[in-house]
Each structure stands twice: as structure tokens, then as C-alpha cells.
Amino acid sequence: MSRMKFLCDAERCIDCNACVTACKNENEVPWGINRRRVVTINDGKPGERSVSMACMHCTDPPCAAVCPVQCIYPTEDGVVLHNKDLCIGCGYCFYACPFGAPQYPQVGNFGTRGKMDKCTYCAGGGGTEEPGSAAEYAKYGSNRFAEGKLPLCAEMCSTKSLLAGDGDIIAQLYGERVRTRGYGSGAWGWETAYHEDTKP
């Protein structure tokens, strides 16, 4: 059975932020909510690398484990979805997430959190809405997955750095790249997300 994953090839990522705006565009994500972001390590120094990061849709997702209302769950395809109707905005998933994925709209003064929002792998929501319906779109964004499409961030990546799809296939793709070019700094976050290491 296929199991969906993300893989960012840091040898290709150029911090162009296409993934970020593609996500915003596809899912109408409001200002201040960043389902996907690009972080640059060793900025301006030798060894600088940029990595695009969002929800990695972990194996044993820690967010799901800590959620006090159990609104987060992995689907059969390994996509981690959540039900906004159940979310109480407690913030636990953010503490548990190794990748800083959960986002919260501010709903009151100070830091009062609204219902959590995060990357859905462009697979709609984990609630009761009809897949691909307007109600689902309004709450979670688009459901490309239902149309047999992959997340738009990866589809629009300028250098084909960000890969999405079946974990085995993208790991194989990455492995081939590393063998061809003779280098690669590893799939960032894979060990933490999937308990497996995709290294050169």
C-alpha cells in the first residue's frame, strides 16, 4: 500500500518560496498562517542549505498522540489529517511536532489560539465534510488528493527539490539522484519523521 511522504532535496532547494505561495494560493491560507516555510541553515556561510518544511505526515505522528481531544489521525495513505470541529486550540500538537507544522489563528487577545491549521497534503480535511466540497475547501483548503493529484507545493517546486508522493518511490528517486551526482546531505527530517534515514 502506498504511503505518502514529503522529501526536500537540500541540494536543489534555492529558497525561492514557490512552495510557500503555491500552498497559500491553492488553499487560500490567510496571512500569518504558514503551512509551509523555507528555513536557511548557515545563511551566508560555506555549507549554506535551505530546506522547505511543512507537516511531514509522520509515522506515529506525535501530534496525534498528544492531542487531548484526539482530533488528529493518519489516514490509510499516511496523510495526517485533523478535524477542526473537534480541535480546541490547546497548542499541544505544536509542542510535540518536530517540524513546527501546526499553526493557530489568533482568535482573542494575547495568544489565544483558534483551531489548529496545518498542511493537509492538499487532501482536504479530517472532518465530516464531503471530500472536495465547498465546505471542506473553506475549512481546510483544496482536496487535490481526491482528484488524484499531489500537493501543489511539490508540483510547482522550481527545481524539483521538494518531492511528494509514495514514500518508497520518492526515496528511490532521491537515491538515484544522489548516486548520479555523488553527493547529498540526506533527506532532511526523514529520520525524525519516519524513523528511517535516507542518506547518500
Partner 1 sequence: MIAKVSNGVWIGQEPDYDSPINRGSHCCKGAAVRDDVLSQRRLRYPVKLVDGQWTRISWQTAISEIGDKLLDIRERSGPDSVYWLGSAKFTNEAAYLNRKLAAFWGTNNSDHQARICHSTTVTGVANTWGYGAMTNSYNDIRNSKTILVMGGNPAEAHPVSLQHILEGKELNRANMIVVDPRMTRTAAHATEYVRVRPGTHIPTIYGMLWHIFQNGWEDSEFLAQRVHGVDEIREEAKKWPPKEVERVTGLPEAQVKHIAELFAKQKPATLIWAMGQTQFTTGTANVRASCLLLLATGNVGQPGAGANIFRGHTNVQGATDLGLDVTSLPLYYGLSDEAWRHWCRVWDVDYEWMTSRFPSKTLMETPGIPSTRWFDATLLPKDQIDQPSPVQAMFIMGHGVNTITRMPEAIRGIEKLELLVVCDPYPTAWSVLSKRKNGIYLLPTCTSFEMEGSRTASNRSLQWGEKIVDPVFESKNDYDIMYMLAVKFGFADLMFKNIKVETGSVSAEDILREINRGGWSTGYCGQSPERLKAHMKNQAKFDLVTMRAPKDDPEVGGDYYGLPWPCWGTPEFKHPGTPILYNTNLPVKEGGGTFRARFGVERIVKRKVLENGQEVEREDHDNLLAEGSYSAGSEIKDGYPEFTLGVLKKLGWDKDLTPHELQAILRVSPTRPDSVSWATDLSGGIQRVAIEHGCSPYGNAKARMMAWNLPDPIPVHREPIYTPRPDLVADYPTLPDAKQFRVPNIGFSVQRAVVDRGISMQFPLILSSGRLVEYEGGGEETRSNKWLAELKQHMFVEINTVDAAERGIKDGGWVWVTGPESGSRAKMKALVTERVGKGVAWMPYHFAGWFEGADLRAKYPSGSDPIVLGESVNALTTYGYDPATGMQEPKATLCQIKAA
Partner 2 sequence: MFVLVRNSLVIFALLVLGVGEAPSLAQKLGTDGAPNPDASVVNQRTLLEQAPRIEGRIDIPDVKASVLIQPAGRTWDYFHEVLLHWGGAIMLLGTLAMLIVAYLVVGPLRISAGRSGQKIIRFIAFERFSHWLTATSFVVLALTGLNITFGKILLLPIVGPETFSEISQIAKYLHNFVSFAFMTGVALIAVIFFRHNLPQRVDLEWIRQGGGFIKSKHAPAGRFNPGEKMVYWLSVAAGLFISASGLVLLFPFYGTTIADMQIAHVVHAVIAMLFVALILAHIYIGTIGMEGAFEAMGTGKVDLNWAREHHDRWLAESLEDERHSAATPAE
Contact residues toward partner 2 (CB under 8 A) are 10-11, 32, 34, 37-43, 46-47, 49-51, 53, 62, 65-71, 85-92, 94-100, 110-113, 182-186, 188-189, 191-192, 199
Q: Which is nearer to partner 2, 64 or 152 (CB)?
A: 64
Q: Which of 60, 130, 172, 181 binds partner 1 (CB under 8 A)?
A: 181
Q: Among residues 150, 131, 147, 149, which one has the least CA distance to residue 139?
A: 131
Query: Least distance in Å: CB of 64 to partner 2?
Result: 9
Query: Least distance in Å: CB of 172 to partner 1?
Result: 16
Query: Least distance in Å: CB of 47 to partner 2?
Result: 4
Give the integer Cα–Cα distance in Å for 64 and 77. 15
Q: Which of 17, 59, 75, 185 binds partner 1 (CB under 8 A)?
A: 17
Q: Which of 3, 16, 88, 139 binds partner 1 (CB under 8 A)?
A: 16
**Residue 77 interacts with which of partner 1, partner 2, none, CB < 5 to 8 Å by class:** none
* Residue 49 in contact with partner 1, rule: CB under 8 A: yes
Query: Least distance in Å: CB of 70 to partner 2?
Result: 5
